[in-house]
Structure 1
C-alpha cells in the first residue's frame, strides 16, 4: 500500500468535487427562482417578467451545462480511482446513483430542452409547468446524490456478508430515510437557494449602480431579497438540525468541529474562538458561550457532548472487538459451515471496520499489539484545526447572509434599494461569499469523516484503486487544465450575458408607438424602463 497514491487519489477527487460543487448550488437555486419569476409572469401577464425569466434562464443554462460535464467525470472516478470502494459497497452506494440518473437527471435534462425551446410553442401555463419540472428534477437529483453521500456518513440498512466479502443492502427504506441524508439534503438545498439569491441580487445591484436595465434589476432584486431571506434563515435552522443529527451518528465529527478534547460537564459551552493544539490535545485561548453547545447538540440541559479523548477510548474498544470479527471471517473463509465462528462474527461484526484500520500498520490485524491498537485508535480523529476554523468561517458567512438579505428585504419593501448605493456595492461584493461557505461545508462533511471512506466500515486507505503516482499526477494536471479552461469559458459567457443585458434579438427593448417615432425611440438611454410593467 502506497500512502502517496491514497493521498493523490483523495486530492484528485477533492479537486473535481470542489469544482463540480461550484455549479450545483447555483443550478439548484436558480431553478426555483425561475419558477417564481415565471409564475409572476403567468399571473400578471406583464411582458417584463417574461424578459426577466428568460434572462435568468440563460444564466441557468450556462451553469447547468458545466455542472453536468463535471458531475459525470466525478462519478466515473468511483470506478477508476476507488475500485475497491465500488466493489465493497457498490450494492448499496450504486443504487441511489442509478436512481438519480434514471429518475432525476433524465427528467431534468428532458425538460430543460423543452423549457428553452418551448417559448412561443407552449401556452404560458404549460411552459410554467415545464419550468417547474426542471426545478423538481434538479432537486430530486440532489436528493439521491445526498442519500448516497449520507449513507457514507451513516451506513444504515446494510451489513457485511462473509460469504461474498462485501456490504449488502438489508433495508433500503433505512438507506432512503437515513437521518444524516435527510438533514444534509435540506441543508444543502437551502444553501444552494442562498447562492442563487446572492447572484441575482448582486447582478441586479450592478445594473442599478451602472444605471442600466433598471426595470429588470428592480424586480429581480425584489424576488432575490424575499427568496434569499427565507433561504438564509432556513440554512441556519436546518444547519442546527444537521448538527443535532451528528450528536447521535457522528460524535467524533461534532467533537472535532468544537475542538472538544474532553467531555465537558453538561450543558457544554459553544467555543466562539480558540486555537486547537493537536500536540498538547487541548484548545488554547478559548472564548465560550455557556450552555449553547449543549442546547444545540442535545436539545437538553443535562445531555453531554462527548470529547475526542473519550471517543478514542471507545474506538480502542471497537478495534479490539473488530479483531475478533476479522479472525472469525478469516476462519469462515476456510470453513463456511462453522457455526461457532459464525456466532463469533455476528457478535462482533459491527466493529469489523475498526479492525481494518490496523491494516495501515500491519498486514494482519490479529498480530497487532495492545500498544499499536491504542495508537491506531487516535487515527479516528480528523484534522481538528481545519474542522474548527472551517465551521466558524462558514457560520460567520451564514450570519452575514441573513444580515444582507434582511437589509435587502427592508430596502425593497420601502422601495429604497435603487437609491442606497452603499448597499448595492455590498451586494456586488457579497457574490463570492456563498460559494466559500458551501465549499467549506463540503470540506467539513468529507474531512470530518476521515479516516473513513464509509464511516466505521471501510477506511479510506483501503478504498483506492491500484494506480501509480505518475498516472494520478497526469490526470490531476489534465483535469486542472481542462477544468480551468472550462471555468474561464463559463465566466466569460456569464459576463458577456450580463453585459448584453436581458433583452434578446427577438424582443423590442425600446417599443415606440408608431414607425414615425422610431428614430426618437432608438435614442433612448439604456436606463429607461424598456417594457411596460
Structure 2
C-alpha cells in the first residue's frame, strides 16, 4: 500500500468529479425548465415562448456536451485508478452504471438531436414530447448514478462470497430501492433545479438591467421565480429527509457533521456555530439550540443521536469481530471444506471490512494487538472540522436561496420585477452560490464516508490501482489543463450566447422600451 498513490488517486477523482458536477446540475434543471417553457408555447401558440425555449435550449446544449464529455472520464477512472474497487464490487457497482448507459444516456442522446433539429420537422406537441423525453433521460441518468453512489454509502442487497473473494448481489431490489440512494436522488435533482432557476433568473435580470430583450427576460424571470421557489423549498425538505436517513445508515457521518463528540441526553441540541477541536475532541465556543438536532435526526424527543466516541467503541467491537472473520477466511482459503471455519466466518462475516482497516497499520490483521485495534477504531472518524463547516455553508446558502426566490416570486406576483433593480443586481451576482453549495454538499457526502470506499466493506486505501505518483501527477496535470481549456471554451460560448441574446427575427434586435408604465402593462 502506498498512501501517496492513494491520496493522489483520490485527488484526481475528486478534481474530475467536482468539475463534472459543475455541468450536471444545470443540465438536470434546465431540461425541465425547457419543458415548462415549451408547454406554455404549445398551450398558447405565442411565438415569444418558442423564442424563449430555443434561447435557453442553446445554453442547455452547450452545457450538455461538456457534461457528457467529463462524465465519461470518470467512468474510465474506476478501471484505471480504482481497479481493485472494480474487481471487488464490480458485479454490484457496475450494474447501475451499465443500465444508466444503456437506458438513460442513449435515451437522452437520441432525443437531444431531435430537440435541436426538429423544430421545423415536428408538430408543436411532438416537439414538446421530445423535449420531455430529454428531460426524463437526464434525470433517469442521475438516478442510476446515484443508485450506484448510494450503494457505496449503504451497501445493501449484497454479500461477500468467500469462494470468489468478491462482493456479489443478493437482492437487486434492495440495491435499487436503497433509502440512501433515493434520498440522495431527490435532493440532488432538486439542487440542480435551483441552479438552473438561478441561471435563468440571473441572466433575465441582466437583460432587464440593460433594457434589452425584456419581452423574453420578464417571462423567463417569472418562470424561474416560480420554479426556483418550489425547488429551493424542496431542497431543504428533501435535504432534511436525506439527513434523517443518516440516523439509521451513516451515524458516524451525522455525528461528524454535527460535531457530536459524545452522546447527549435526548433530544440533542444542534450546534449552530463552534470550532471543532480534534486534539481535545471537543467543540470550542459552541452555540447550541436545544432539542433541534434530536427532532431533526430522530423525529422524536426520546431517541438519542449517538456521539462519535460511542460509535468508535462500536467500531472497535466490529474490528474485533472482523479479525475473527479474517482468520476464519484465511483457513477457508487453504481448505474450503473446513466446516468449523465456515461456521465461524458466517457468524462474523458482516464485520470483515472492519478488519481490513487494520491493513493500514499491519500486514496481517489476524495478528493485530488489542491496543492497535483500539487506536484503529478512531480511523472511522472523518475530518470533523471539514464536515462541520462544509455542511453549514451549504445549508446557509440553501436557506438564502429560499429567501431569494421567495422575493423574486413576490416581486413577480406584484408586477414589480421589471423595476426592482436592486434585486436584479443581487440575482445576477448570486448565480455562483448554488454551485458552491452543491460542490460543498458533494464534499460532505464523500468525505463523510471516509475511510471507506464502500461503507463498512472496503477501505479506500485498499481500493486503488497499482500506479506510480509520476503516472498520477501526469494525468492530474493533463486533466487540469484539458478541463481548464474546456471550461474557458464553455464560458465563452455561453457568454457569447447571452450577449447575442434570444433573437431569431432581425426585427426583434431593437431594445425593448423601458418606461415603467409600459413595462407594468407588458408584465
The number of residues matched between the two structures is 517
- Give me the CA root mean square deviation: 1.1
Q: Does 1:73 align with 2:80?
A: no
TM-score (norm 1): 0.96
Instruction: Give the Å deviation of 1:526.
Output: 5.2
Runs of 4+ in 1 over 4 A off after TM superposition: 526-529
Structure 2: state its 5+ residue gaps. none
What residue in structure 2 maps to residue 324 of structure 1?
324
What residue in structure 1 maps to residue 39 of structure 2?
39
Q: State whether residues 107 and 133 of structure 2, in contact with CA within 8 Å, keep that contact through their aligned partners in structure 1.
A: yes
Q: State whether residues 213 and 527 of structure 1, in contact with CA within 8 Å, keep that contact through their aligned partners in structure 2.
A: no
Equivalents in 2 of 1:342, 1:218: separation in Å?
Answer: 70
Instruction: Give the Å deviation of 1:525.
Output: 3.7
Equivalents in 2 of 1:386, 1:68: separation in Å?
Answer: 30
What residue in structure 2 maps to residue 142 of structure 1?
142
Structure 1: state its 5+ residue gaps. 511-521
* Matches for 1:356-395 after TM superposition, within 5 Å: 356-395=356-395
What residue in structure 2 maps to residue 190 of structure 1?
190
Q: State whether residues 211 and 511 of structure 2, in contact with CA within 8 Å, keep that contact through their aligned partners in structure 1.
A: no
What residue in structure 1 maps to residue 247 of structure 2?
247
Equivalents in 1 of 2:422, 2:328: separation in Å?
Answer: 69
What residue in structure 2 maps to residue 164 of structure 1?
164
Instruction: Give the Å deviation of 1:77.
Output: 0.1
Q: State whether residues 319 and 351 of structure 1, in contact with CA within 8 Å, keep that contact through their aligned partners in structure 2.
A: yes
* Matches for 1:364-443 after TM superposition, within 5 Å: 364-443=364-443
Q: Does 1:51 align with 2:51?
A: yes
Equivalents in 2 of 1:370, 1:49: separation in Å?
Answer: 70
Instruction: Give the Å deviation of 1:338.
Output: 1.0
What residue in structure 2 maps to residue 201 of structure 1?
201
* Matches for 1:18-29 after TM superposition, within 5 Å: 18-29=18-29
Equivalents in 2 of 1:104, 1:475: separation in Å?
Answer: 29
Alignment partner of 1:456: what SS?
Answer: coil
TM-score (norm 2): 0.98
Q: State whether residues 247 and 297 of structure 2, in contact with CA within 8 Å, keep that contact through their aligned partners in structure 1.
A: yes
Q: State whether residues 161 and 168 of structure 1, in contact with CA within 8 Å, keep that contact through their aligned partners in structure 2.
A: yes
Equivalents in 2 of 1:527, 1:249: separation in Å?
Answer: 57
What residue in structure 1 maps to residue 216 of structure 2?
216
What residue in structure 2 maps to residue 115 of structure 1?
115
What residue in structure 1 maps to residue 342 of structure 2?
342
Equivalents in 2 of 1:474, 1:375: separation in Å?
Answer: 36
Instruction: Give the Å deviation of 1:339.
Output: 1.1
**Deviation string, structure 1 residues 405-429 (Cα, Å, up to 9, x no partner):** 0000000011100101100000001
What residue in structure 2 maps to residue 517 of structure 1?
none
Equivalents in 2 of 1:348, 1:527: separation in Å?
Answer: 75
Alignment partner of 2:127: what SS?
Answer: helix
* Matches for 1:56-135 after TM superposition, within 5 Å: 56-135=56-135
**Deviation string, structure 1 residues 117-144 (Cα, Å, up to 9, x no partner):** 0001000000000000000000000000
